[in-house]
Amino acid sequence: MADLSVKYAGMDFKNFLVGGSGPSYDTVEGCKAGADAGLAAFVLKSMTPAFLGRAGYQHAVPRFKTVNRLQPYRRWQPELGEENMDILSAGEVGSVWGEEGYIEFAHKVRQAVGHRAKIGISTFGIEFGPPRDFPPEEVYYRHFEVMKEILANGDADFIEMPLANICFDLMDMPKVIKKAKSMFAVPVTIKLSDPFFFPVVERAKLMQNAGVDALTLFDCSMVLDFDIETKQVPFRDTWHYAASGSTIPLVNACIAQCRLAGVTLPITGSFGVWEWPHVIKLIMSGADAVQMCRKVMVRGFGVVPEWLETINKWLDDHNIKSITELKGSILERLDARYRRMVREEPLERGGVPSLKPVVDLARCQGCTHWCLPSCGYFAIRAKDGKIEIDEGKCAVCGTCEGTCPFGVISYQPRTPQETEAFRQRYRR
Ligand SMILES: Cc1cc2nc3c(=O)[nH]c(=O)nc-3n(C[C@H](O)[C@H](O)[C@H](O)COP(=O)(O)O)c2cc1C
Ligand code: SF4
Ligand code: SF4
């Protein structure tokens, strides 16, 4: 059994899995289920700013929407379909408990959970709601008063401030962080958003210099989608925020870039964790812990023990004694100067492509449905109920490998003899 525990911003987490703020942690039952499932920590659903009133969460419009289920692939590999979906989320205004009820709610959560899991309490980004005539940081300061009471009751272990807000002037954030740090003894963490819109490393450094204790990368990103006939967005009246199951490589890159640029803060990776290998990838990219929200929303808490067991076994199989050994282990493979991958396989050797395409004929269904149209070099043709790739035309571009749902096409290095034969045959 590997050691799964991590130190996070001075806290002892029994493992690296944190429940991300959302509906799962807006009920005492949900929080208890998260702790029972083995989460090291979870963040309660963010407090609803009082100026929104109860109407803030009593809207009937669905709060999230599932898109991009990759239906075509389902036909071929049923087991792929369910996991490969993205969820758009919007209009989720905050906890159903409001500011007042949040204190009692946190107390009941602590009673139900005890200290089996660390409990985070959360303010809210302030972009929702009607225009108001007070400075945006006032919402944080109001929430700080509520948090003070919760902390005085011993009902929370850390604070998370989501920054899901592109209107709020980021340069004001250090001031908010300093105020939080002067008020609270517990760790104060920031959850950044919108990795597509902001220079992440600069934002991370701004937060680090302001004295925050840890960062969560990321909450979500603002996206725009709409019906081309009606111009309706999925949520009727707003921009919407999305976190996609396909965005883990983006998060990996952002975390790795932060690490390469000297961000030393503890980081929690988030924003699209759908499979257990995502957890490993985020940690290898430099994260200390991982948050997941929607996976649990969609699949239930059963994934928590399942992933912990699977990851434990994976670590054992790789003779890794502690999860912390993995942290940042991919960074040595990155070229720090240019912040990009080092190419391991040369494109060509002496004018000949260094790799050759290989078709596993035993597994090829001969459908030609996926690979054939995907070849922009017209190198693939149907032959005897299978396919054949014309080596002379093939540019080893890599497209067909990814399109065949059966994994029939791969690439292998050419031997020196094959390289010579290729050169002779095609006079390169
Ligand atoms: C329906 C829904 C409600 C959410 N509510 C909150 C919230 O109140 N506060 C917050 O900080 N993040 C909230 N989030 C964001 C999640 O905590 C998480 O950062 C985001 O969904 C990305 O992680 P994931 O890909 O694991 O879901 C919410 C997400 C969803 C889908
Ligand atoms: S390589 Fe894949 S996509 Fe192409 S014919 Fe064979 S099974 Fe179909
Ligand atoms: S690797 Fe590219 S060029 Fe070669 S057969 Fe596949 S799609 Fe065509």
Q: Is the pLDDT of residue 362 over 60?
A: yes
- Give the position, in ligand 2's atom list, of the atom nearest the Cα of 370: 3
Q: What is the DSSP secondary-structure string of 378-392?
A: --EEEETTEEEE-TT
Instruction: Estimate the crossing angle of helix 248-260 against helix 276-284, to 10 degrees.
Output: 20
The answer to whether 270 touches 262, Cβ cutoff 8 Å, is no
pLDDT of residue 93: 64
The predicted pLDDT at position 339 comes to 61
* Local structure of residue 229 (DSSP, 8 states): T
Residue 83 clears pLDDT 60, i.e. is over it: no
pLDDT band, very low/low/confident/very high, at 399 (cuts 50, 70, 90): very high
Average pLDDT over residues 279-286: 98
| Ligand at shortest distance from the CA of 102 | 1
Q: Which of 16, 61, 87, 220 to mutate to test the pocket of ligand 1 (most atoms within 8 A of CB)?
A: 220
108, 27 Cβ separation under 8 angstroms: no
Lowest mean pLDDT among 6-20, 51-65, 357-371, 406-420: 51-65
Q: DSSP state, 293?
A: S
Cα–Cα distance, 332 to 292 (Å, whole number): 26
Q: Which residue, by CA, sits nearest to atom 10 of ligand 1?
A: 21
pLDDT at 166: 47
| Buried b or exposed e, range 209-248, using 16+ CB within 10 angstroms | ebebbbbbbbbbbbbeeeeeeeeebbbeeeebbbbbbebb
Assign 103 a pLDDT band (cuts: 50, 70, 90).
very high
Q: Decide if pLDDT at 170 tops 90.
A: no
Tokens 């899901």 identify what position? 164
N-terminal to C-terminal alpha carbon distance within the chain = 55
Averaged pLDDT of the chain: 86
pLDDT band at 226 (very low <50, low <70, confident <90, very high): confident
Q: Which of 121-125, 377-381, 423-427 has the lowest mean pLDDT?
A: 121-125
| Contact in structure between 94 and 100 (CB atoms under 8 Å) | no
* 3-state DSSP helix/strand/coil % of the chain, to nearest 5: 35, 20, 45
Look at the domain 344-426 and name its fold: Alpha-Beta Plaits (3.30.70)
Q: Where are the domains of the chain?
A: 6-335, 344-426
What is the distance in A from the centroid of ligand 1 to the CA of 229? Answer: 30
pLDDT value at residue 62: 60
The answer to whether 323 touches 306, Cβ cutoff 8 Å, is no
**Residue 381 C-alpha to ligand 3 middle, in angstroms?**
11
pLDDT for 153 equals 97
Say if ligand 2 is within 6 A of residue 365 CB: yes
Q: What is the mean pLDDT of residues 16-42?
A: 96
pLDDT of residue 67 exceeding 90: no
The alpha carbon of 334 and the centre of ligand 3 are apart by a number of angstroms equal to 27
Q: Provide the whole-model pTM.
A: 0.88
CB of 204 sitting under 6 A from ligand 3: no
Higher pLDDT, 70 or 161: 161
Q: What is the pLDDT of residues 284-300, one digit of tens each?
A: 999 999 999 988 988 89
Ligand 3 pocket test, candidate residues 359, 370, 400, 404, most atoms within 8 A of CB: 400
Task: State whether the beta carbon of 379 lies less than 6 angstroms from ligand 3.
Answer: yes
The closest-lying atom of ligand 3 relative to the alpha carbon of residue 380 is 5
**Does the pLDDT at position 126 exceed 60?**
no
Q: What is the pLDDT of residue 132?
A: 59
Distance CA 352, CA 13 (A): 52
Q: Which residues line ligand 1 (CB under 6 A)?
A: 20-23, 45-46, 63-64, 87, 89, 92, 94, 122, 162, 191, 219-220, 243, 270-273, 292-295
Alpha carbon of 404 to ligand 2 centroid (Å): 5
Closest ligand to Cα 247: 1
DSSP codes joined into one string, 201-219: HHHHHHHHHHT-SEEEE-S
Q: Which of 66-75, 99-108, 184-193, 241-250 has the lowest mean pLDDT?
A: 66-75
* Contact yes or no for 204/259 (Cβ under 8 A): no
- pLDDT reported for residue 219: 87
Q: Which pLDDT score is estimated for 137?
A: 77
Instruction: Count Cα neighbours of 425 within 13 Å in the Cβ-side half-sphere.
Output: 11
Q: What is the pLDDT of residue 139?
A: 78
Q: Which fold has domain 6-335?
A: TIM Barrel (3.20.20)
Cα–Cα distance measured from residue 417 to residue 352, given in angstroms and rounded to the nearest whole number: 12
- CB distance 389 to ligand 2 below 6 Å: no
Whether residue 230 has pLDDT greater than 60:
yes
- What CA–CA distance (Å, rounded) separates 290 from 269? 5
Q: How confident is the model at residue 60 (pLDDT cuts 50, 70, 90)?
A: very low
Mean pLDDT of 183-207: 92
